[in-house]
């Protein structure tokens, strides 16, 4: 694995972490550096958060040599996974962690946006809370700026706090070139070729909101970040030709001309 | 043909039973046998007649009517052969046996024809009813968007002619389209469902509550409850639609994009601070998930005349009203009455301008 090969600062194989990140269902995690894990400063506060903290840490760092029964071993194993997750949330907002997650993002390790208009934009994992055991991991699309549920049930049970609420936003602040262009295109519900009036009216209202935002940004001399705006407008004009009739409430309704 | 042959599944049910064909309804034979429903398909499907026979599991003609058969077999694709192709149902028991390659052409024509008939069938009364049953059983899955809270979706095509796009899923809660989660649907042509079906569905079944599972999941921790409560509060605070409005633009307010609007829009934060719209990586797409707090604002006809109309030109309320209100409490939706001449709110009350969605405030923003 790439992450493993890049682990040049470690002079021996990280058995536990290697096993952990290559386990089925753990594809969203990157490998935390040995160096990071052994710096106590990075683990501040976690000792009270995690049962059998020291044993768990020993296990994660491959220095575990505690003779115990299977039940105990299992409990420590569980704690080790929880510890790894909580440290992971801190690690992925460090320079090195961000770089590792960026590589995974580029390979679409976190999946692609299911929204058709996002054209398979790679996703990033995120949590809706930084508090453990609050809500499972979600996926963030930087193109539509929305959250999606992981497809696989294996991923849907991972604690969102292992990724946290900030990581995905920090990544795009640090790597703004990774920001995808935003699209103004949208799905327009139609019935027998006619736009559905209720949806079309909402779409026009939303487009007004978008234009207001773009005006605010232009006033502040900030890039809007939308792709091919000219092309979009052309498309809209072409669209307008069949635009007059809309269907809704059992009859076609003529929308008033926009003044 | 001997009568000892076991009862085989019909072509239609075996087609619908294939992996990846879970979205298809079983088109009734009555529908297919009505020529009117097949108008225009003959020119779109190669080996149309054979394909239709395959779909209906019928043998070419009445037995022993050779001449009649020959007459119709005037195209060159009909190769004669004495090799009996296996693996086919009754269609394979024809007297004019075909080579395997020929059969695969007919088979794929049959699939194309079935798909095109299916597109029409699911917008017919029996077809849409059958799809409603599949919808209720969640055969098409749920919206992947978090804020749509597992709202049930419907298959849709982005094109009505085949060969363009694979089938997608339409979510009535966010009014958006998604790629099916399983790759097995990526071989199913979207035209077999068509562009009209999902919208017609929700215009037909206006009583369906499309909201998704709004209830809080059991076992959720306090922090999540707090988030959801805050969202719910945001929703109530920002839902200023008059409670007596039963319909706007033909849709009940609670069914108009229920996954959209305040409380359903992702707010990017870094260490708890909102990311400002002015940041380069700041939010640009909130409009896509917005919805006015008072949905009667979407009644463009009235708004237009409120803004531009002179009293003389203003049409009768009956003619232009796209908002229905219930007359007093306890009036059923069926008995909804057109609201006549009632003024709603003064002009210029633009929800967008000073709404809580405005991220321009500098307070606590990271930029
Ligand atoms: Zn997206
Ligand atoms: Zn949705």
Q: What are the pLDDT digits (tens) for A117-161?
A: 999 999 999 999 999 999 999 999 999 999 999 999 999 999 999
B202 vs B198: CA distance, rounded Å = 6
User: Under an 8 A CB cutoff, do B176 and A182 touch?
Assistant: no
What pLDDT is attached to residue B57? 93
Residue A69: which residues within 8 A CB-CB, separation 6 or more? none
Nearest one of A195, A205, A197 to A240, comparing CA atoms: A195
Number of domains in chain A: 3
pLDDT band at B214 (very low <50, low <70, confident <90, very high): low
Q: Which domain holds residue A238?
A: 190-253
Which ligand has the nearest atom to the CA of A113? 1
> Which chain A residues contact residue B300 at CB under 8 A?
201, 204, 255-256
User: Mean of the pLDDT values across residues B234-263?
Assistant: 82
Count other C-beta atoms under 10 Å from residue A135's C-beta.
20
Backbone angles phi, psi at A82, to 5 degrees: -65, -40
Answer whether residue A185 is part of any domain.
Answer: no
- A33 and A61 housed in the same domain: yes
pLDDT band at B227 (very low <50, low <70, confident <90, very high): low
A123 vs A107: CA distance, rounded Å = 10
CA of residue A112 to ligand 1 center, whole Å: 8
- Percent of chain B having pLDDT more than 90? 50
User: Mean of the pLDDT values across residues B257-279?
Assistant: 94
Which ligand has the nearest atom to the CA of A145? 1
pLDDT band at A243 (very low <50, low <70, confident <90, very high): low
Answer yes or no: is pLDDT of B364 > 50: no
A191 vs A177: CA distance, rounded Å = 40
Answer yes or no: is pLDDT of B344 > 60: no
User: Under an 8 A CB cutoff, do A190 and B257 touch?
Assistant: no
- Percent of chain A having pLDDT more than 90? 78
Nearest one of B284, B236, B290, B286 to B261, comparing CA atoms: B290
A201 vs A208: CA distance, rounded Å = 11
pLDDT band at B178 (very low <50, low <70, confident <90, very high): very high
- A158 and A236 housed in the same domain: no
Question: A151 and B181 in contact (C-beta within 8 Å)?
Answer: yes
Answer whether residue A8 is part of any domain.
Answer: yes
Question: B149 and B102 in contact (C-beta within 8 Å)?
Answer: no
Q: Which two tokens stand for residue B24?
A: 């298809």
B75 vs B359: CA distance, rounded Å = 68
Q: Which of A57, A91, A125 is the last residue of a domain?
A: A91
Answer whether residue A15 is part of any domain.
Answer: yes
**Which residues make beta-bridge pairs with B269?**
B274
CA of residue B148 to ligand 2 center, whole Å: 5
Count other C-beta atoms under 10 Å from residue B310's C-beta.
7
Q: pLDDT: is A153 or B220 the higher one?
A: A153
Answer whether residue A47 is part of any domain.
Answer: yes
- Which of B284, B292, B298 to probe the A interface (max A CBs under 10 A)? B284
- B119: nearest CA in chain A? A192
What pLDDT is attached to residue B63? 46
> ipTM of this predicted complex?
0.87
> Which chain B residues contact residue A205 at CB under 8 A?
290, 292, 297-298
Q: Which of A91, A116, A148 is the last residue of a domain?
A: A91
Pick the range with the lowest mean pLDDT from A64-73, A91-100, B216-225: B216-225
- Which of A187, A214, A227, A253 to probe the B interface (max B CBs under 10 A)? A187
User: Under an 8 A CB cutoff, do B352 and A209 touch?
Assistant: yes
- A164 and A198 housed in the same domain: no
B134 vs B358: CA distance, rounded Å = 41
B319 vs B317: CA distance, rounded Å = 5
- Which of A203, A206, A211 to probe the B interface (max B CBs under 10 A)? A206
Question: Distance from A256 to chain B by nearest Cα, in Å?
Answer: 6
Terminal-to-terminal C-alpha distance of chain A: 59
Answer whether residue A202 is part of any domain.
Answer: yes
- A87 and A7 housed in the same domain: yes
Q: Identify the residue whose tokens are 């978008």.
A: A210
Answer yes or no: is pLDDT of B125 > 60: yes
CA of residue A188 to ligand 1 center, whole Å: 17
- A120: nearest CA in chain B? B179
Write the secondary structure of B83-130 as one string of H (helix), E (strand) and C (coil).
CCCCCCCHHHHCCCCCCHHHHHHHHHHHHHHHHHHHHHHCCCHHHHHH
Task: Tell me which residue in B289, B291, B300 faces A146 most closely, judged by beta carbons.
Answer: B289
Question: A132 and A159 in contact (C-beta within 8 Å)?
Answer: yes
User: Under an 8 A CB cutoff, do A198 and B256 touch?
Assistant: yes
What pLDDT is attached to residue B50? 95
- Which of A205, A223, A244, A250 to probe the B interface (max B CBs under 10 A)? A205
Residues A4-57: pLDDT tens digits?
Answer: 333 444 445 679 999 999 999 999 999 999 999 999 999 999 999 999 999 999
- A166 and A205 housed in the same domain: no
- A168 and A212 housed in the same domain: no
* Average pLDDT for chain B: 76
- A14 and A72 housed in the same domain: yes
> Which chain A residues contact residue B212 at CB under 8 A?
none
Answer whether residue A96 is part of any domain.
Answer: no
What is the three-class DSSP state of B265? coil
User: Under an 8 A CB cutoff, do B221 and A248 touch?
Assistant: no
- B307: nearest CA in chain A? A259
CA of residue B258 to ligand 2 center, whole Å: 9
CA of residue B143 to ligand 2 center, whole Å: 5
Q: Which of A62, A91, A120 is the last residue of a domain?
A: A91
Answer whether residue A127 is part of any domain.
Answer: yes
What pLDDT is attached to residue B284? 96
What pLDDT is attached to residue B85? 43
- A171 and A111 housed in the same domain: yes
What pLDDT is attached to residue B47? 94
Answer whether residue A98 is part of any domain.
Answer: no
Q: Say how many CB pairs under 8 Å bridge A and B.
A: 194
Count other C-beta atoms under 10 Å from residue B163's C-beta.
9
CATH number of the domain enclosing A57: 1.10.1820.10
Q: Pairing state of beta strands A245-248 and A194-196?
A: parallel
pLDDT band at B337 (very low <50, low <70, confident <90, very high): very low
Q: Which two tokens stand for residue B343?
A: 């003024």
Residues B295-336: pLDDT tens digits?
Answer: 888 887 777 767 776 655 666 655 555 666 665 443 333 333
What pLDDT is attached to residue B294? 87
């Amino acid at each position: 694995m790439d992450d493993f090969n890049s682990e040049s600062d470690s002079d021996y194989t990280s058995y536990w972490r290697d096993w952990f990140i290559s386990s089925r269902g753990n594809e969203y995690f990157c490998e935390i550096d040995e160096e990071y894990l052994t710096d106590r400063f990075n683990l501040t506060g976690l000792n009270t958060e995690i049962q059998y903290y020291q044993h768990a840490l020993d296990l994660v760092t491959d220095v575990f040599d505690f003779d115990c029964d299977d039940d105990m071993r299992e409990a420590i194993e569980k704690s080790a996974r929880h510890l790894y997750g909580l440290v992971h949330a801190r690690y992925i907002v460090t320079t090195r962690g961000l770089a590792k997650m960026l590589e995974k993002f580029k390979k679409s390790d976190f999946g692609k946006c299911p929204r058709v208009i996002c054209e398979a934009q790679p996703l990033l994992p995120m949590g809706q809370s930084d508090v453990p055991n609050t809500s499972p991991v979600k996926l963030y699309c930087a193109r539509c700026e929305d959250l999606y549920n992981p497809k696989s049930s294996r991923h849907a049970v991972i604690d969102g706090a292992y990724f946290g609420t900030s990581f995905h936003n920090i990544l795009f602040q640090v790597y703004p070139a990774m920001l995808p262009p935003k699209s103004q295109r949208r799905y327009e519900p139609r019935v027998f070729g006619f736009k559905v009036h209720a949806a079309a009216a909402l779409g026009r209202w939303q487009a007004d909101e978008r234009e207001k935002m773009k005006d605010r940004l232009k006033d502040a001399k900030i890039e809007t970040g939308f792709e091919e705006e000219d092309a979009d407008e052309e498309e809209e004009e072409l669209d307008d030709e069949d635009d007059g009739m809309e269907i809704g409430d059992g009859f076609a309704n003529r929308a008033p001309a926009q003044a | 043909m001997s009568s000892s042959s076991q009862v085989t599944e019909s072509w239609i049910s075996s087609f619908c039973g294939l992996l990846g064909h879970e979205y298809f309804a079983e088109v009734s034979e009555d529908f297919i046998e009505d020529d009117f429903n097949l108008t225009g398909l003959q020119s779109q499907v190669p080996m149309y007649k054979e394909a239709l026979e395959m779909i209906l599991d019928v043998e070419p003609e009445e037995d022993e009517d050779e001449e009649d058969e020959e007459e119709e077999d005037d195209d060159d694709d009909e190769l004669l052969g004495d090799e009996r192709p296996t693996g086919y149902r009754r269609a394979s028991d024809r007297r004019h046996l075909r080579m395997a390659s020929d059969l695969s052409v007919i088979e794929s024509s049959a699939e194309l024809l079935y798909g095109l008939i299916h597109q029409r069938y699911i917008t017919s009364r029996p077809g849409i009813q059958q799809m409603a049953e599949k919808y209720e059983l969640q055969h098409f899955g749920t919206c992947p968007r978090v804020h749509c809270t597992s709202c049930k979706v419907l298959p849709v095509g982005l094109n009505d002619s085949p060969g363009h796009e694979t089938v997608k899923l339409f979510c009535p809660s966010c009014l958006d389209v998604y790629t099916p989660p399983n790759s097995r649907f990526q071989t199913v042509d979207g035209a077999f469902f068509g562009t009209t079906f999902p919208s017609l569905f929700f215009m037909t079944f206006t009583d369906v509550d499309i909201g998704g599972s709004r209830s809080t999941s059991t076992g959720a921790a306090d922090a999540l409850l707090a988030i959801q409560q805050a969202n719910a509060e945001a929703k109530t605070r920002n839902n200023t639609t008059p409670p007596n409005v039963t319909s706007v633009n033909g849709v009940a307010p609670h069914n108009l994009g229920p996954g959209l609007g305040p409380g359903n829009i992702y707010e990017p934060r870094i260490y708890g601070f909102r990311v400002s719209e002015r940041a380069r990586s700041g939010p640009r797409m909130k409009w896509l998930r917005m919805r006015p707090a008072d949905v009667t604002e979407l009644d463009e006809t009235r708004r237009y005349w409120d803004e531009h109309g002179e009293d003389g030109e203003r049409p009768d309320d009956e003619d232009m009203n796209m908002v229905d209100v219930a007359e007093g409490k306890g009036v059923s939706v069926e008995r909804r009455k057109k609201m006549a001449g009632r003024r709603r709110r003064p002009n210029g009350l633009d929800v967008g301008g000073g709404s809580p969605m405005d991220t321009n405030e500098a307070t606590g923003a990271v930029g």
